[in-house]
A and B are shown apart, each in its own frame.
Chain A
Amino acid sequence: MFYRENGQFKSSYASDQQMLPILQDRVFMLGLLAFAFIAVPFLASDYLFLSILIPFLILTLAAIGLNLLVGYCGQISIGHAAFMAVGAYAAYNLVLRLPQLNFLVVLVLAGLIAAAAGILFGIPSLRIKGLYLAVATLAAQFFMDWLFARVKWFTGYSSSGSVSTATIEMLGWKIDTPARKYVFLLGVLVVFTLVAKNLVRSHIGRAWMAMRDMDVAAEIIGIRPVYAKLTAFAVSAFYVGVAGALWGFVYLGAWEPLAFNLSLSLNLLFMIIIGGMGSLLGSYFGAAFIVVLPIFLDQVPAMLGVPIPTALNSHLQSMIFGALIVFFLIVEPQGLARLWAIGKEKLRLWPFPH
């Protein structure tokens, strides 16, 4: 009986439009944030940070980016890791050539460069859609793969083609320990999530969703398709570019050109399919799922006394991913986020059945 909205009346549009209109949701979210920012840095082990929390936070950011384009605006992209690469290499070159810049500035600039790439490779979406657009995005993926592997300027003329980064230092604060990395990433992610939420409930977000649901009708009611699609590509690439920079600098530390290959692109797509397309919360769920599944398959059978060899583990992962994609597309196309929403609905009624 505790998840009822009784008595929570809204007397202004501003309060009706707020992000978390139900009081219980606000309390829960504040508690969660407090726990995440204050308690977790002290409670979690290094392993938890490095293997689960840090990749989870960065991949969520990337998933939100892809979700804005695919889930909210309905433009398919199966080569989105290319923009992560743009962000990562842009950040690398900025730090290399302008070392005095604050890292946050570097992130924003890297994001903007990725956004420009997004606009460029988003131009095909003005003329083609669906499956055809998917192939065009593959062009972006393979071209970027090649560009960063072959054009030596991007890697600072490194002989191996790989790059490595130094520890990030901001305003005298070294982001070196796993706990510090975690807090930094969490801060970035929270800010970016808020921004995404704002965009989605604004007129640009509605324009995106209108393009997704019925683009001809959207145009007839006055929405400019070029503006809607290219801003979706730009904002999406911005997010994903920042995620790429963070992936390279905070998580990997050093990377080779194929770190942002087709596999990563497809993983991002899986995250939003399983998590829920058109849902920011779904991006969180999807990223968590992708990060946890391999570890789950690693640890749990071992704990049950039936350890699975690594090779078999990765094959099983592929099978499970594949099967789950098909399963979710058939049974719940709106993914885990929808299941969560259904759960909340039931909670509203609890303890009554209906």
Chain B
Amino acid sequence: MKKNWPVVALGAALLVGLALPLATGASAPGFYVEVLLGGLMTGVLYSLVALGFALIFKASGVFNFAQGTMVLFAALAVARLAERMPLWAAILVAMAIMVALAWLIERLVLRPLVNQEGVTLLMATLGVTYFLDGFGQIVWGSDIYKIDLGIAKEPVMVLDKVFQGGILVNKEDFVSAIVAAVLVAGLVLFFQKTATGRALRAVADDHQAAQSIGIPLNRIWVIVWSVAGFVALVAGVIWGSQLGVQFSLSQVALKALPVVILGGFTSIAGAIVGGLIIGVGEKMAEVFLGPVLVKAFDLAGGGIENWFAYVLALLFLLVRPEGLFGEKYIDRV
């Protein structure tokens, strides 16, 4: 690799930043671990949203700006439907809705724009975002809704022998992490072992070649968007149970963009790793770096988390645009 040192420098800076609060003794180890875990949990959420992005981009080359809104849409569907039926039924109905949504998007948006450049498709998904935003609020309402998964909400104290005072951990967070892991494992199996999965990988490699061996492109895209919809649903349910969901051009939903930048647009592993890095990074920055900056520059409060992920992504774009696990793109004349 020609320009290795900026990547190394960036990585080193991040690791140093990560270790500083512990090394300087500025924070109790127990608290540090709590913040770390909190960041990891947020990171899991980001990873799930980014997973949907990566799937769609991998299989259809489309950058789905609307992924975050789809997560919210799915979450709100479950939340509102669960008011009238048992949770498992609500989830099934919501899944059906997401599949229908996938079909509609493929038919009305993707197919007519099939040969356009990425930026055009990005803007089209921007349009889809706005449409879903308005439509979702009309259908599901604008307030904050919570999803009750039936898991106990009180945090549990663990490892009080190792760390003074122990660490508070949320049971729900554990469940979320496990669900996410199962989902990822399932997706990996799906892509590697099933015929449909192989077809999806073929399409990601070369649309025309895949078509020429008889893979039905349109159906593949519906499948991919449905899978992404399913991932969005899982992400939405977890989100809804932890934080409550409300329609908004949500920063959290957009946060998945820096995640795929870090991880590489076409990599599932990258979406996971990128999400965790961003989740931890911004939590750490907010909790430990924030107060330092506030004191140094006499700021009116923190809020570093609002931009940390994007600036990190920007730095990554300048030194390693293909992300940690993505593929390099060569421009030919």
Contact = CB atoms under 8 A, between A and B. Distances in A.
A329 B138 contact: no
Given A132-B317, A135-B313, A150-B300, A322 B122 contact: no
Chain B interface mostly helix, strand, loop or mixed?
A: helix
Contacts of B333: 216-217, 220
Nearest to A153: B298
B333 to A, nearest CB: 5
B307 interface: yes
Interface stretch (A2-10, A199-207, A261-269): A261-269
B142 interface: yes
Nearest to B136: A315
Nearest to B314: A139
A116 B299 CA distance: 23
B307 A325 contact: no
Interface in A122-154: 124, 127-128, 130-132, 134-136, 138-139, 142-143, 145-146, 149-152
Interface in B94-123: 108-109, 112-113, 116-120, 122-123
Contact of A135 (B109, B135, B258, B318): B258
B40 to A, nearest CB: 22
The A contact surface, by secondary structure, is helix
Contact of B126 (A145, A149, A325, A330): A325
B131 A318 contact: yes
A325 B128 CA distance: 8
B322 to A, nearest CB: 9
A29 interface: no
Nearest to B322: A132
B114 to A, nearest CB: 10
A341 interface: no
B261 interface: yes
B108 A146 contact: no
A251 interface: no
A192 interface: no
A216 B126 CA distance: 28
B124 A329 contact: yes
Given A143-B310, A220-B333, A325-B127, 14 more contacts: A78-B126, A124-B314, A130-B118, A131-B122, A143-B311, A152-B298, A217-B333, A266-B249, A315-B135, A316-B134, A317-B134, A325-B130, A326-B124, A330-B113
Interface of B: 63, 108-109, 112-113, 116-120, 122-124, 126-135, 137-138, 142, 249, 251, 254, 257-258, 261, 265, 297-304, 306-307, 310-311, 313-314, 317-318, 321, 331, 333
